[in-house]
Structure 1
């Protein structure tokens, strides 16, 4: 209030002043002016100061504000605002996920969702919903991970203990091994000239850290060291693991699939393809985009010759406005 004299505890800040005026003013406070000079939320008040509060309709209370304010009145109002925001975020995120799951004709099981939350590192469901509401977690990604957890929990597509190591090769049995006359790979103790093929479960390319897996036919399947199936292979069939490293480029190009997720903005697909077309050494083989509820997700298949170009491409795609996630499949 203009011209009023107010008392605050020692160390009180602009934010204390804002909440003293009104909860809405405090919740939307972005800073202020003390004696006509712009100051931040954290600026402390002093006796005789003339204070003006600056607000923005897009501002929201944050948990760290509790460390800025000194008055119990301001702290109580912040806690209340955070609780209200948490409830609103939870309802919004829950409704959004239920709608997305329903569109995919997937029924949500509480036990599976609980396992998913633990897998993603969430101790509280409220924090999970907050990440969804803040668009830090993509619903399509959640659905994909949910299905993985569901399959695991219900023992779907899981190898039995009696199954052989060939279940971990993940390729069509008719797939022929590739003759390496140019010795692009050195397999275990500098052995060269061995027949090998690149595993389809992780699609290694030149430059990736790799290892070999000996098949019953005596050939070698090459996997990336971060292959999703590597831990199980090492655990159950460690005796069939051999060291491998690249020694030169034998292939001109490798096919790599990238998963891209983002806002379904006008021209977003064109902007993505432009990034790829600008690099003469990268060829786009195919693109498959699906959009829904203002978001898009899709797979890009590109041809390139090593992982340094792949990493650079991913970095560039992530800078495209509207793109939220770019991951290698």
Structure 2
């Protein structure tokens, strides 16, 4: 009971009107439920809820949160139920305990799809009551502080989850101190050698510097006193993981790393913040590019402070943060400031933001994400991002993550603006779309009707919103392209049997093939998932050739052993009527090449693999695919006419894709299913006769050594 009394006393220090009896009853109930349970360290289990509650009491949190901490494992690990907790402590605390229980059960480092779904659930729980995540973060912090008692596998799993999910989440909701400690504790598990090395070097640096932190603190206090400011000065060395991350980001050795010391100046008023900044810059030389004013442009989690870096005593680079006491409370506790007490009253901190706004915006923005990877990417971008603030030409502020570019700005304004973007001006100067934006810049987006996003834009954006919008537009454009191409292929197939393509016919074919719509059918034809001949088979089977002398495609070759299989070589795509030779390949049967195929050079020294073959006499079906490379005029209707020409020659187009697009011409490759070499020449002659066909070549690939014996 002594632990409970110490906790009660700690809460009453900041909240004299606290319901001490409620906290004692929560402790006693938790102790009763966990009786006989032990932690891996050998301590009674109740020591863990007490430690979590104490961590939250250090943040001056309300009674309901403290009680939730004491009870947070009862529903999950004991015979207690939601109804029991609600009956004894009320529905508010019962809901919080149940919320923490649900978070504990989520496997946040599972497979990608499962992780995405569980992160959605985590954010939904946070949006209902942020105190749930505050308890969970305190629970994770105590578990990480005592992680040594876990198995090596358990330590690594817990540390990785902490580093990937909980540490950045703590930072994103403003609890920077907790983020830093969680990161460092996880770092000690995941890379103990690197951490130990940094600590050794840091101890040596402190020995050489000889109390440099205390000396710089004294220097700052002198400068503040000189301008009549009484402020608190705090100096500290950065944590090992923070130093390691900076070494990794800048790719520098520890000996070349600067600003590993940080100092904080806490004053009473906003005006004193700027006065203190002037005094610091007057005494020491400011480092260019290292000044950030989060007072005039606060972060979205409510963080306000001035950051600057200067060359301090003995030329050592130090980082200085300047803020008021009210700003400091938000910087230290983040969203926890929303529930904190002082002298028995809820603190009305003017800098505290709506604690659920970020979570609500995130879940609303990405509820429509169509795949798990997209949602995870968006969450990670939002959780790890710092912010820059830019202005529209009208002076409106747009918040973006650090590293954002003009396209991010455009999509932040409106999806339509982003989709139609053709350029940007930053501070009235035209800049490339790859330009990274900086704080305070004015950005003007230049748009044009008919412009559409390109795949390359995905490399030019940082925000999840922009990436999602670009991907959605690309999917829509690709779908439309496939439908257009499928329409041409279907029309040629209908023409080849003397029938007219109609919407009704396409819908009938789609229904018979169990497809959702005619557009679905056309998209499959356009993507070569289905040959256009299949549509004719479904609608007009009686019109297809059923001649008795048609050669079975599976028995088209003469000269094979009874148990030998064959396949046409991709390099030369042999056709009936061309002289051929077979090359035996271990486990793959016989590969058929034209006699003049360049690939055969690679097997000239292996005559035992050569087989004399010939095509079966008779009419072969149009199932032998070859590839034409055409250069055609870029005029309306040309491609459709080309497809029609191929269809009138009783050939089926099985694939089509563009190799090159220019203002005056296209290069396109068409896969056509043909009967024979004679059929190919007929198709080629028909195409060469068209005035808009600049050139036509049969594609042959020089693939050396493709058919090894084994």
The TM-score bracket by the shorter chain reads: 0.3 to 0.5
TM-score of the superposed pair, with normalisation by structure 2: 0.22
TM-score of the superposed pair, with normalisation by structure 1: 0.42
**Which has the greater radius of gyration?**
2
Query: Which structure carries more relative contact order (alpha carbon 8 Å, separation 6+)?
Result: 1
Considering fraction of residues, name the structure with more strand.
1
